[in-house]
Chains A and B, each alone.
Chain A
Amino acid sequence: MSTLTPEEKRRLLKERRAAKMAGGNATGRLNAILNQGNSVKSSTVTSVLDKDESPKPTNAPIPTPISKFHGDDDPDTSDIEQLLSTRVSPAPSPLAPQDPTASDIDEMFKKMFGGQSGNGSGDDPLTSMMMSMMQQSQKDEGDTTGLQDQAYEAQLLKYNMYNLKKLKYRFLVVRYLSVVVNFVYHFFASTTFRGSSHAFSRAAGMSGYYNNGFFVTFVSLEAVVLSSYLVISSRRKASENISSDNLVLKVVSMAAAVVPAVQRFQPVIVQLVKYWEVLSMLVGDLALVAVLFGLTSVL
């Protein structure tokens, strides 16, 4: 079979049609079409072509490249069917040139599904739709994995925060024990080491002798314990990637998202918050010392 372009096929079809009209018997052909499918051939219309007296070109030579055309007879197969079959048959590749009508339909499909397909022009719209559906299902599965990751991260953060709390608890026990033991030792070691409700007892005790044993011990123990806490908690926070449980740091990080200039000060603020935490521990221990002196004043 010779390969003809669609334009050539259309031209041939037109010529054949013209040749048929020139051959006459338009009424017969019309009645044959109208009686198609009827058991009784009742149509008796007259074609306008037979009514028309104007001369028609009849002797012009007609090229017949297709072998199925035999003179005045209708071809064995309908040319329209051939034309349609050439149009309906799928192109060998998506990039093959297509008929304008099919290309219009393809354009329409592309417009409908163009947003979902990521493969660019020239793709079969059904294929692109299937691809987009597969991508969506992969994304859903990815979302499930993402949700699992999120749940894991949340649980890990909870675990790390619990560990930090446990660390604070242990250091609180050590701090309080060290202060209480130091206080109790000096309470029993010295008769003047106690609080008093009366002002005269303080005046009487003012002998100019300064006994700094308790405070030196207190400061030494605090230095050791608090510096250990600072080092260990910083390492844990860094290794376990705990951003913060501190309100100030949360506010600063939110502000940094809005005002980028704040980001420059973020490391300084983080450091200050760490030192503030340690300072508040020291103040808490001093408060314990005050309470112990107060309790000894009523004994």
Chain B
Amino acid sequence: MVSFDLYPSTLLVTVLTVLLFKKIIEVVGKKNIQDLTWRSYCQVAGKLGHSKLSEISNKSSEARKVNLQRKAVSAQDEYAKWTKLNRQHDKLLAEIDQLNQGLASEKAGVVKYLGLLISVLTTLPIWFFRLWFRKAVLFHLPPGYLPYPIERLFGLPFVVLGGVGLTVWMFSVNSVLTSLEFLIKFPFETPVEKPSPVDKSKVEEVKHQN
């Protein structure tokens, strides 16, 4: 029979880390993480010799150069040169767009693997721990400091009196992380100004004028 055991302290820290990681992903947003991963992948894979990505990278740098040249040229004074550069720039943009469309399936693959990785790092461990360590005591409370009902509450549902199990620990960590998220995010929220009431006398005045 397979035996898998962890020290209570190791289990406690692991669960805390996993829940913290999950909360960070929630706050940052899965979409933002996917976009960031795809951009990093494009940069790294391009440098490592990925054909399409290196071609896109080359064409993008060329388009940037042509754009700078076009901006440096006056359209009124050197119309022919400006038009030529403009046409070249548009052509490069169209080629880059076409190459990006070709990469769509590759992007979908990257996103899929990223989603899988996030599940492996967050959801899977939590479910595993809940099943495997459901009766484990993560730590014991100091005796005499908390009354019996509170100690009983902390021991729910499977743990002895005075001990804290995985269920209560996960609930407590989630609750604290949510409160900390609120504490950190709220000061950065845009404050809402008090609206000024509608002045009905002015509305009447405007009506009569009209």
Q: Which residues of A contact B (CB under 8 A)?
A: 141, 145, 148-149, 152, 155-156, 158-159, 162, 165-166, 169, 172-173, 176, 186, 192-199, 201-202, 205-207, 209-212, 214-215, 283-284, 286-288, 290-291, 293-294, 297-298
Given known A169-B183, A211-B144, A211-B145, contact A287–B172 (CB-CB < 8 A) = yes
Residue ID in chain B nearest A149 by CB atoms = B198
Q: Is the CB of B200 within 8 A of A284?
A: no
For the complex, what is the distance from the CA of A210 to the CA of B12, rounded to whole Å? 27
> Any chain A CB within 8 A of the CB of B29?
no
For the complex, what is the distance from the CA of A156 to the CA of B162, rounded to whole Å? 49
Q: How far is the CB of B181 from chain A (nearest CB, A)?
A: 11
Residues in chain B near residue A196, CB distance under 8 A: 139-140, 142
For the complex, what is the distance from the CA of A184 to the CA of B150, rounded to whole Å? 20
Residues in chain B near residue A173, CB distance under 8 A: 183
Q: Is the CB of A169 within 8 A of B198?
A: no
Residues in chain B near residue A297, CB distance under 8 A: 8-9, 12, 138-140
For the complex, what is the distance from the CA of A192 to the CA of B146, rounded to whole Å? 13
Q: Is the CB of B207 within 8 A of A214?
A: no
Q: How far is the CB of A288 from chain B (nearest CB, A)?
A: 6
Q: Is the CB of B7 within 8 A of A197?
A: yes
Given known A148-B203, A159-B193, A197-B7, contact A294–B140 (CB-CB < 8 A) = no
Residues in chain A near residue B197, CB distance under 8 A: 152
Q: Is the CB of A214 within 8 A of B172?
A: no
Give per-residue flags for B163-176: 1 if the beta carbon is below 8 A from chain A beta carbons, else 0: 11000110111011
Given known A169-B182, A284-B175, A288-B172, contact A210–B164 (CB-CB < 8 A) = no
Given known A145-B200, A165-B186, A197-B140, contact A294–B12 (CB-CB < 8 A) = yes
Q: Is the CB of B145 within 8 A of A212?
A: yes
Q: How far is the CB of B13 from chain A (nearest CB, A)?
A: 6
Closest 3 CB pairs of A and B: A297-B139, A287-B172, A155-B195
Residue ID in chain A nearest B173 by CB atoms = A291
Residue ID in chain A nearest B147 by CB atoms = A215
Residues in chain A near residue B207, CB distance under 8 A: 141
Q: Is the CB of B172 within 8 A of A290?
A: yes
The tally of CB-CB contacts under 8 A between chains A and B is 128
Residues in chain A near residue B198, CB distance under 8 A: 145, 148-149, 152
Residues in chain A near residue B150, CB distance under 8 A: 215, 286
> Any chain A CB within 8 A of the CB of B49?
no
Q: Is the CB of B140 within 8 A of A195?
A: yes
19 cross-chain CB contacts under 8 A: A148-B203, A159-B195, A162-B192, A169-B182, A172-B183, A176-B183, A192-B143, A194-B142, A197-B12, A197-B138, A205-B142, A212-B147, A284-B179, A286-B153, A291-B172, A294-B16, A294-B139, A297-B138, A297-B139
For the complex, what is the distance from the CA of A215 to the CA of B147, rounded to whole Å? 8
Given known A141-B207, A286-B150, A298-B12, contact A202–B143 (CB-CB < 8 A) = yes
In the complex, besides A198-B140, A298-B13, 11 extra interface pairs with C-beta distance below 8 angstroms are A145-B198, A152-B195, A156-B195, A159-B194, A165-B186, A195-B140, A202-B140, A211-B144, A212-B147, A214-B145, A286-B150
Q: How far is the CB of B147 from chain A (nearest CB, A)?
A: 6
Residues in chain A near residue B203, CB distance under 8 A: 145, 148
Give per-residue flags for B132-154: 1 if the beta carbon is below 8 A from chain A beta carbons, else 0: 00000111111111110010011
Q: Is the CB of A205 within 8 A of B172?
A: no
Residues in chain A near residue B139, CB distance under 8 A: 195-197, 293-294, 297-298
Give per-residue flags for B91-129: 1 if the beta carbon is below 8 A from chain A beta carbons, else 0: 000000000000000000000000000000000000000
Q: How far is the CB of A183 from chain B (nearest CB, A)?
A: 10
Give chain B interface residues in 177-202, CB to chain A under 8 Å.
179, 182-183, 186, 189, 191-195, 197-198, 200
Residues in chain B near residue A172, CB distance under 8 A: 179, 182-183
Q: Is the CB of B140 within 8 A of A201?
A: yes
Q: Is the CB of A291 within 8 A of B141?
A: no
Given known A141-B207, A162-B192, A202-B142, contact A287–B9 (CB-CB < 8 A) = no
Q: Is the CB of A195 within 8 A of B142?
A: yes
